[in-house]
Structures are given as C-alpha cells and as structure tokens.
C-alpha cells in the first residue's frame, strides 16, 4: 500500500519491512502469504528448470522492490528499503528452510544476485555506511543459503522437486555470473589496502578500515563455501571464479571496475595489480588487527590446495619466501590464536600430497642430483 505512493515514503516502507522481518521467524506462513499478495518482493513468472534459466534471469519479475530501488533509492542515494529487504529475505530463507519451502524466496535471492550484489559498490550514497551494510547483508544472506541444508531433515520435500534448488542456484550464480566477479573484487583488495584504511580511521574498533576487514572476512568465508559446494554436475566446466584463481596471469580481477571506490584500495590500483589473486589471499597472513582474517585466508588456501590444479607456489612468485617466513613466525608465536595455528598445520598437511612445491619451501628442502634431497632438520624441528 505504501510502496506504490509517489514519492515513495522510504522510511515508512523500510520500517514496515523491518517489522515483517522480526515477525518472519514466528509467523513465516502468514508473512509469506501477505507478501505474495502485495507483489513487493521479486517473483517468478515461470518455473526455473535448469541453470541456463538462472543465467538469463528472464523469468524473474523485479516486483515493487525493484521499482523502488531503480526509481527512488538509486536516484536519492538512500537505501533503507534495500537494507530492510535483505534482512527480510534472510529471515524468510532461514524460516522457510526448516519447512522445506526455501524455493518460495528463490526469485528474491536471484534478484539480489543479479541486480544488487554486483552493483552496490558503484551506487551513489548519501550515507557511506549504507554501502558497508548492504555488502555485509548480501554476504550474510548467501551464508544462510549455503548453510540451510544443515537445518533440513532427511527426505524433505526439496529432494522430490525437479529443477535446481535455491542453494544450487546461488552457487551457480556466484560461480558463473557478475556476482562472482564482485565477490573476487572484495577478496582481491589485499592486506595493503586494509592497512591503509586502518591507518586512516580515528578509532581502534570503528571506521572504514574495520568495516573493510569485516567485509573481506565474510567474502573469504563465502568463497570457501562456494568452492566446497560446487555441484558435481558442473565439475567438468571451470567457472570464471575458478579460472581467475587458477589463472597463470597476474593482475586485477578481469572486468573489475568497482574496486576503486572502496576506501583504502589505492595500493591495489598500482603495484598490487601485478600480484596474483592467490598471492593476495596468502598475504592476509600479515594482518594482525583481526585474528579471523588470516585464519579465513589460510582456510581458503587449504581449499585451493585441494581443488585447484595450479601450483600455489607459482602464484606466490617472488613473495613466496617472505610469506613462508610470516606463516612460520605466527605458527611459532606463543601468543598467537590457536585457530590460526591449527589452520596453518592443516594447510601444510594438505600440501604434502597436492602442493609438493609449497611444502618443500616450508621445510626448506634443497634438491640435489637425481632424486636425493637435503632437508634442513633445524627448520623442520622449529616447525
């Protein structure tokens, strides 16, 4: 009723949606029913039977929310309705997954993946804090979708449905569409950009630098889950995300255009452009403001060591020894976070089989004639 007014009362609509988001966990059926009647959220005009329809997005109607986003919010630079809608979708996804009805919200999620997440960093903002909130809320939504399978019981009605489910659609979209490029752009910011942003904020715990750290942490976590959940049916088709991670070329994410607007990204636009994406992830080991960032980066390296055909050592290039030294320094430190130490040890255990070059440089193995090798025993024991 309020959304069709001109001009749209953004405050009123946003607060109404927030009320629905609060009610969704307890009154999921009623909230979903009334939302379908209003046509506020995006909806499907036809069934999605395969991934090609997910890629085209032709069957998704933007609903009243899409009209408000394009006609009012982007013009004014105020995104209260978008943030409230992301909260509502997150609650609806979690509540509907318990009943095996998560596909009810598929259209809304596909709209976010096509129209919001790939573009939100390029929008104009009156309050720059809205940009950070939208990015985090998008990533939180993807996390909920990736994890809702743990809430379902065996033999749920989802398994009897034809066509891809919500999680499969989300994974496919992040792997094969512009949403994946947007995710990699955040991952590729690098420790230099983070440090620059942190040095410019006036508070230890709050500011553009801390916001950037939180955003990169969530993007690393989502990327790790994304590589884990790729459907077996797509195993023979490398996605653009996987190609970027396994590429033999250094440089920025192909097609990237929104990084320049991120606070503290100047270093990435200069010398950092020649750094491989995997090396950028590895260099988060230098970060000490948050223990979660190097831990998540190490976890992602472990995943890449398992699934990527490319040598991580080759990706590190001339920074390999300095990165190796920092990993060992943090592993030996008595005050270091236990989660990070465990992650480093798990990474090295995986590299024994899948990344022989990387494990050799960590153990300081020097190859000689034939198959013989000399190992620095003091380095191994210190390790």
Domains of the chain, by residue range, sit at 1-151+162-176
Q: Are 76 and 149 in contact (CB under 8 A)?
A: no
pLDDT per position as a tens digit, 56-66: 767 788 889 99
User: What's the CA gap between 24 and 104, in Å, rounded?
Assistant: 14
Return the biggest CA–CA distance within the chain: 80
Angle ∠(285,295,269) on CA atoms, nearest 5: 45
Confidence of residue 321 (pLDDT cuts 50, 70, 90): very high
pLDDT score of 150: 46
User: What's the CA gap between 299 and 225, in Å, rounded?
Assistant: 10
In this model, does residue 234 exceed pLDDT 80?
Answer: no
* Predicted TM-score (pTM) of this structure: 0.84
Confidence of residue 142 (pLDDT cuts 50, 70, 90): very high
In this model, does residue 203 exceed pLDDT 70?
Answer: yes
Q: Are 259 and 265 in contact (CB under 8 A)?
A: yes
pLDDT score of 6: 65
pLDDT score of 109: 92
User: What's the CA gap between 213 and 195, in Å, rounded?
Assistant: 9
List, in order, residues 6 or more apart from 253 with CB less than 8 Å away: 181, 184, 185, 188, 244, 259, 277
pLDDT per position as a tens digit, 102-132: 778 888 999 999 999 999 989 999 998 889 8
pLDDT score of 33: 86
pLDDT score of 35: 86
User: Nearest-CA neighbor of 339 among 382, 290, 303?
Assistant: 290
Cis upstream peptide for 7 (omega within 30°)? yes
């Amino acid at each position: 009723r309020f959304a069709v007014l001109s001009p749209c009362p953004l405050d009123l609509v946003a607060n109404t949606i927030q009320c629905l988001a609060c009610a969704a966990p307890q009154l999921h059926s009623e909230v979903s029913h009334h939302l379908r009647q209003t046509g506020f959220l995006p909806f499907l005009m036809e069934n999605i039977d395969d991934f090609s329809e997910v890629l085209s997005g032709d069957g998704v109607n933007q609903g009243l929310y899409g009209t408000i986003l394009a006609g009012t919010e982007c013009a004014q630079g105020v995104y209260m309705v978008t943030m409230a809608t992301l909260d509502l979708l997150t609650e609806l996804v979690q509540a509907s997954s318990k009943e095996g009805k998560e596909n009810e919200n598929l259209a809304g999620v596909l709209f976010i993946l096509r129209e919001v997440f790939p573009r939100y960093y390029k929008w104009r903002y009156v309050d720059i804090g809205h940009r950070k909130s939208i990015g985090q809320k998008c990533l939180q939504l993807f996390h909920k979708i990736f994890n809702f399978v743990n809430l379902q019981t065996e033999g749920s009605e989802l398994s009897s449905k034809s066509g891809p489910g919500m999680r499969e659609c989300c994974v496919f979209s992040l792997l094969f569409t512009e949403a994946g490029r947007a995710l990699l752009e955040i991952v590729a910011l690098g420790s230099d950009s983070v440090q620059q942003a942190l040095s410019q904020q006036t508070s230890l715990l709050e500011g553009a630098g801390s916001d950037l750290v939180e955003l990169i942490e969530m993007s690393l976590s989502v990327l790790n889950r994304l590589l884990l959940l790729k459907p077996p049916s797509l195993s023979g088709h490398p996605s653009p995300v996987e190609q970027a991670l396994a590429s033999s070329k250094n440089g920025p994410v192909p097609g990237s255009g929104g990084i320049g607007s991120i606070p503290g990204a100047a270093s990435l636009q200069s010398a950092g452009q020649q750094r491989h994406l995997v090396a950028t992830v590895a260099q988060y080991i230098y970060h000490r403001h948050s223990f979660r960032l190097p831990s998540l980066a190490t976890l992602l390296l472990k995943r890449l060591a398992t699934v990527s055909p490319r040598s991580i050592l080759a990706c590190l290039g001339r920074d390999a020894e300095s990165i190796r030294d920092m990993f060992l320094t943090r592993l030996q430190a008595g005050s270091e976070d236990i989660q990070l130490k465990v992650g480093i040890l798990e990474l090295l255990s995986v590299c024994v089989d899948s990344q022989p070059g990387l494990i050799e440089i960590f153990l300081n193995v020097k190859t000689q004639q034939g198959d013989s090798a000399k190992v620095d025993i003091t380095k191994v024991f210190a390790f």
